[in-house]
Amino acid sequence: MFATPAYAQAAGAAGQGSTLAGIASVAPLVLIFVVFYFLMIRPQQKRMKALQNAVNSVKKNDTVITAGGLIGKVTKVDETEVEIELGPNVKVRAIKSTLAEVRPHGAKPAND
């Protein structure tokens, strides 16, 4: 029931050690999150920002690829939609947010 002063001092010292042990056990988790952020999250955010800028600046005669895999040439651009020519006399309308890639007119193909 009664704690002696020596016992109370020992308990205080043990409390400080457990605080350092708690910080040491959380540090690897923080390090993993920081590495994960710089290797995974940040590059993905940059790609999404670049795609959003490309979609917002799409213009007539650009080649686009939709999320469904259709490839065509832009013939008309509205505020939220684009008209895409897939082949001779085959035109479809698509919502801008469904575009997965925008290739500017006259861009060199990737395999050349």
pLDDT per position as a tens digit, 39-56: 999 999 999 999 999 999
The pLDDT-based confidence of 21 (bands split at 50, 70, 90) is confident
Percent of the chain with pLDDT over 90: 66
* Average of per-residue pLDDT values in the chain: 85
Gyration radius (Cα) of the chain, Å: 29
Matching CATH number, 59-103, of 2.30.30.100, 3.40.190.10, 3.20.20.70, 3.40.50.720 = 2.30.30.100
Residue 51 CB partners (closer than 8 Å, separation 6+): 100, 101, 102
Q: What is the pLDDT of residue 100?
A: 93
Residue at 106: amino acid letter: G
Q: Provide the residue ranges of all domains of the chain, joining segments of one domain with +.
A: 1-56, 59-103
Mean pLDDT of all residues in 90-112: 84
